[in-house]
Amino acid sequence: MIINQMGDISNLESEGSDTVPNRIQDDVRALYLFRDIAEVTFQSLMRASYDQSLPQQVTLIREGAPADFLHIVVEGMVELFATSSGREVTMAVVRPVSTFILAASIRDAPYLMSARTLQRSRILLIPSADLRAAVASDSQFAMNAMQELAGCYRSMVRHTKNLKLRNTRERIAAYLLRQSRLLGGAAGFSLPVEKRLLASYMGMTPENLSRALKSLAADGCKIDGQRVIITDRARFESLAELSPMLDGPDPVAEQAGVSLPPPIAELQI
């Protein structure tokens, strides 16, 4: 295990796969990537993998480093971000149970994003070499990886289109309406991540996000802290102008570590 090269990881608990609990194996098995693959393939991956618990605010991947592991978030929350000359932007936030940086592992190429824990997290690390061997030997696994990567690509295309075709206010409105739709059209929900991450993901400053959110009250959407309430759906929808080509539904975005988590539903009282 070469984790300690990374410097700022301490207190880690790495263990052979025989210690990956069944509960976790079941969760991982349910991921699209592993669906219907041969049991022997899956077991060999589990056996080769490392299960580590990390505190909050630990950098587990630095962009540019060789992609030695496919990562799977089992507990907690991980931010994927990118940096350049001092600036930093959020590229995705990953919640359980999801893989991330599949593409780098498959291509045996350097990571294009960095990753840090936003909470105490439990991460399963599958060595990329084992992953590639498994993909080469199990054609169902190869098909799954192919489908997943095609989906990742399409999610990123959507994200790029959003950035280029909509301005700040439009991006926010569309995002909020998509969140509502993910909950079956719920009028109220809570934002899944801090606003600073949301702002960075959507390509704007926290200040502008704050102002824009406030201004949306006049268009049928009220925000109070983390809570969002769509007060005038018709009005808000006409503002947001959702379109299937920009706004999905996107079946892959959930599990593949390419966007933000789904919203948090209201408690039914």
Amino acid (one-letter) located at 132: R
210-241 core/surface letters (b: 16 or more CB in 10 A; e: else): eebbeebeebbbbbeeeebbbebeeebbebbe
CA dist 163 and 90 (Å) reads 14
Stretch that binds its own copies, among 69-77, 138-146, 178-186, 189-197 (CB under 8 A): 138-146
Residue 59 forms beta bridges with which residues? 116
Among 10, 196, 227, 241, binds DNA (CB under 7 A): 196
For its own copies, give the closer residue by CB, 21 or 64.
64
Task: Tell me if 142 sits within 8 A of 149, measured CB to CB.
Answer: no
Angle between helix 206-215 and 168-182 (nearest 10) = 70
- ω before 97 within 30° of 0 (cis)? yes
Of 20 and 176, CB closest to its own copies: 176
Identity of the residue, 20 or 33, whose beta carbon is nearer to its own copies in the bound complex: 33
Among 59, 210, 229, 233, binds DNA (CB under 7 A): 210
**Candidate residues 1, 40, 129, 136; the one interacting with its own copies per rule CB under 8 A:** 136
**Is residue 43 near DNA by the rule CB under 7 A?**
no
Which is nearer to DNA, 225 or 244 (by Cβ)?
Answer: 225
Per partner kind, with CB cut-offs from 5 to 8 A, the member of its own copies, DNA, none near residue 157 is: its own copies
The distance of closest approach from Cβ of residue 260 to DNA in the complex, given in angstroms and rounded to an integer, is 13
